[in-house]
C-alpha cells in the first residue's frame, strides 16, 4: 500500500485517520528533505552571526529579552523540554497520540521551523514501527499552543518517559535500545519547535470530526427509517422547497432522504396527513446546518494540518526570522465549538423522533 507523504502541504483528514487508527505507513519525500536542510543551514548561519532570536539564543516567555551564552544553547533546549514536560493521568488515547505525532511531523515539514530532518524522520520511524509515547490528555494552553503534551512527546524522543512498543508498555530508553537507535539530542531551536504548536489539539479534533461525519450518515438513515415508521410525507423533501432556500447542504440532505425513501410503500400512505412534526419535516434544514458545520470544520482542520504552528518562523530565501502567533489555537477552538453544537443538535433530533 502506498505510503502517505509527510510534505507539509497535502495531508488530508482521511490521511490522519488512516495513520492514527489503521497504522498506515508514512514517508518523508526527497524534496522536503532538501527544503529542511536549506532551512536548517539558515538557522545555523543566524547562530553564527549572533543575532538574538527567540528560543534560539534567548529565554522564553517573560525571559525573551534574556540572552543565552553560546555554550549554553544546547542546554537551553533540554531545559525547555524539562520545564514543560509533566506527565499526569488521564493519558491521551493511542490513536490521538499517533495523530499528534503525524501532525507535528507534517507541520515541521513545512520548513519554517528550521529543525533538522532527523527530528521528523524519528517521528515517522516511530509511527511506522508502532511506537506510541504516553502523553497526557490534559495540558494544552490553547492560546499558547499544546505546550505540555508536546513537551512530553519531545521528552520521549530524548529517551525519557514511557511509551508502547508493539502494544507493550516500557521505558523510552528501553524502546530505543530494542530498536537499536540513539535518543534525539535537540540542537538550537528544535526543542521549542517541538512544543510550540497545535498538533495535539488538532489530532483530537480531526478524529472527532471523522466520527461526526460517520454519525451524520447514520443519522440520515435513521431519520429515513423514522419517516417510514411515522408514515411521513415525501413532499417535505421536495427539491422545489430546497430551491426556495438554496443552501447547498440542505439540498444534499433532502436529496439523500429522497433517494433513501424512494420506492417505500409506507411514505405518503396516510392520505389524511397534512404535514409532519418538525423533527421529520425540518430534517433537510436541521441536518443541512450540521453538514455545513462539518464542512467548515474540515476546511479549518485541513488548513491547520498543513500549517506551520511554530514561533518564530524562518524564511531562508528572504533571510527572515519572524516572531508571530501561529501557535494560537483559536481557529481550532472555534471549529471545535461549532462541531460540538452540531452534534448536540443531531442527538436532540434523534431523541425527539423516538420520544
Asked if the 4-197 domain carries CATH number 1.10.275.10, the reply is yes
Is the pLDDT at 331 greater than 90? The verdict is yes
Q: Which burial class, exposed, middle or buried, applies to 65 when counting CB atoms under 10 A from its CB (0-12, 13-18, 19+)?
A: exposed
Residue 55's pLDDT is 81
Q: Are 144 and 192 in contact (CB under 8 A)?
A: no
In what helix (H) or strand (E) does residue 157 lie, and over which residues does it extend?
helix 147-157
Report, as an integer, the average pLDDT of 171-182. 98
Mean pLDDT of the region 177-206 = 97
Residue 145: per-residue pLDDT: 84
The three-state secondary structure class of 185 is coil
Spell out the residues 6+ positions from residue 179 whose beta carbon is closer than 8 angstroms to its own: 129, 131, 165
- The pLDDT of 200-207, averaged and rounded, is 98
Dihedral of alpha carbons 327, 331, 335, 337, sign: positive
Does the structure show a pLDDT above 90 at 151? yes
pLDDT at 61: 78
Length of the chain: 355
Q: Could you give the percent of the chain with pLDDT greater than 70?
A: 100
Nearest to 164 by CA among 106, 94, 217, 260: 94
pLDDT over 90 percentage in the chain:
88
Give residue-wise pLDDT tens across range 254-272. Answer: 999 999 999 999 999 999 9
Q: 103 or 64: which carries more pLDDT confidence?
A: 103
Residue 299's pLDDT band, with cuts at 50, 70 and 90, is very high
Give the residues across from 26 on adjacent strands: 4
Which 8-state DSSP code applies to residue 211?
A: H
Kindly give, in sequence order, each residue whose CB lies less than 8 Å from that of residue 196, ignoring residues fewer than 6 positions away: 55, 145, 147, 150, 309, 310, 311, 327
249 three-state secondary structure: helix
pLDDT tens by residue, 315-329: 999 999 999 999 999
Residue 50 CA, chain-centre distance (Å), reads 36
* Domain ranges within the chain, ordered by starting residue: 4-197, 206-354
Residue 203 has phi, psi (to 5 degrees) of -60, -45
CB 210 within 8 A of CB 13: yes
Band (222; pLDDT cuts 50, 70, 90): very high
pLDDT at 69 over 80: yes
Given a cut of 90, whether residue 142 has pLDDT beyond it is no
Question: Is residue 230 packed enough to be buried (19+ CB in 10 Å), middle (13-18) or exposed (0-12)?
Answer: middle
> What is residue 266's DSSP assignment?
S
- What pLDDT, on a 0 to 100 scale, did the predictor assign at position 50? 84
pTM for the complete prediction?
Answer: 0.95
Q: Which residues pair with 58 in a beta bridge?
A: 67
- Which of 47-61, 102-116, 220-234, 268-282 comes out lowest in average pLDDT? 47-61
Contact 203, 20 (CB under 8 A): yes
pLDDT above 80 (res 355): no
CA 197 to CA 344: how far, in whole Å? 29
Per-residue model confidence (pLDDT) at position 152: 98
Q: How confident is the model at residue 54 (pLDDT cuts 50, 70, 90)?
A: confident
pLDDT at 135: 98
- Binned at pLDDT 50, 70 and 90, residue 143 comes out as confident
pLDDT for the residue 63: 78
For the chain, give the longest Cα–Cα distance: 87
Is 91 considered catalytic here?
no
* CA–CA distance, 235 with 211 (Å, rounded to integer): 31
Q: How far apart are the first and last CA of the chain?
A: 47
Query: How far is Cα 171 from Cα 97, in angstroms, rounded to an integer?
Result: 17
Residue 32's nearest CA partner among 306, 318, 304 is 306
pLDDT of residue 245: 97
Q: How far is CA 55 from CA 33, 244, 245, in A?
A: 23, 56, 53
Pick the CATH number of 206-354 from 3.90.1150.10, 1.10.340.30, 1.10.3290.10, 1.20.200.10: 1.20.200.10
pLDDT value for 17: 99
Which sign, positive or negative, has the C-alpha torsion 26, 181, 309, 210? positive
Q: Give the per-residue pLDDT at 57.
A: 85
| Residue 320, pLDDT score | 94
Chain mean pLDDT for the chain: 95
Catalytic annotation, pick one of 22, 54, 210, 301: 54
Report how far residue 249's alpha carbon sits from residue 251's, in angstroms, rounded to the nearest whole number. 5
Amino acid at each position: 500500500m502506498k505510503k502517505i507523504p509527510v510534505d507539509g502541504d497535502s495531508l488530508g483528514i482521511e490521511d490522519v485517520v488512516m495513520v492514527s487508527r489503521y497504522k498506515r505507513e508514512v514517508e518523508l519525500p526527497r524534496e522536503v528533505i532538501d527544503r529542511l536542510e536549506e532551512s536548517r543551514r539558515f538557522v545555523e548561519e543566524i547562530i553564527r552571526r549572533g543575532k538574538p532570536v527567540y528560543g534560539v539564543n534567548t529565554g522564553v516567555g517573560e525571559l525573551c529579552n534574556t540572552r543565552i551564552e553560546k555554550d549554553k544553547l544546547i542546554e537551553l533546549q533540554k531545559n525547555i523540554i524539562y520545564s514543560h514536560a509533566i506527565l499526569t493521568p488521564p493519558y491521551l488515547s493511542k490513536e490521538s497520540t499517533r495523530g499528534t505525532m503525524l501532525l507535528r511531523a507534517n507541520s515541521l515539514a513545512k520548513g519554517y521551523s528550521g529543525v533538522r530532518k532527523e527530528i521528523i524522520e524519528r517521528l515517522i520511524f516511530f509511527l511506522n514501527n508502532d511506537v506510541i509515547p504516553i502523553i497526557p490528555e490534559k495540558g494544552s494552553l490553547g492560546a499558547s499552543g499544546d505546550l505540555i503534551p508536546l513537551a512530553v512527546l519531545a521528552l520521549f524522543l530524548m529517551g525519557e518517559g514511557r511509551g508502547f512498543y508493539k502494544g507493550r508498555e516500557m521505558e523510552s530508553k528501553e524502546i530505543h535500545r530494542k530498536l537499536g537507535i540513539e535518543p534525539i539530542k535537540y540542537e538550537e531551536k528544535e526543542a521549542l519547535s517541538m512544543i510550540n504548536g497545535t498538533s495535539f489539539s488538532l489530532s483530537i479534533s480531526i478524529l472527532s470530526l471523522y466520527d461526526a461525519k460517520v454519525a451524520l450518515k447514520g443519522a440520515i438513515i435513521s431519520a429515513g427509517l423514522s419517516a417510514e415508521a411515522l408514515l411521513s410525507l415525501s413532499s417535505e423533501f421536495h427539491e422545489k422547497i430546497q430551491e426556495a432556500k438554496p443552501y447547498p447542504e440542505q439540498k444534499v440532505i433532502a436529496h439523500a432522504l429522497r433517494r433513501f425513501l424512494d420506492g417505500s410503500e409506507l411514505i405518503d400512505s396516510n392520505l389524511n396527513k397534512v404535514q409532519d412534526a418538525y423533527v421529520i419535516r425540518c430534517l433537510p434544514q436541521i441536518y443541512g446546518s450540521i453538514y455545513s458545520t462539518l464542512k467548515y470544520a474540515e476546511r479549518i482542520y485541513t488548513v491547520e494540518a498543513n500549517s506551520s504552528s511554530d514561533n518564530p518562523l524562518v524564511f531562508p530565501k528572504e533571510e527572515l526570522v519572524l516572531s508571530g502567533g501561529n501557535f494560537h489555537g483559536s481557529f481550532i477552538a472555534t471549529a471545535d465549538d461549532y462541531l460540538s453544537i452540531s452534534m448536540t443538535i443531531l442527538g436532540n433530533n434523534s431523541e425527539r423522533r423516538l420520544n
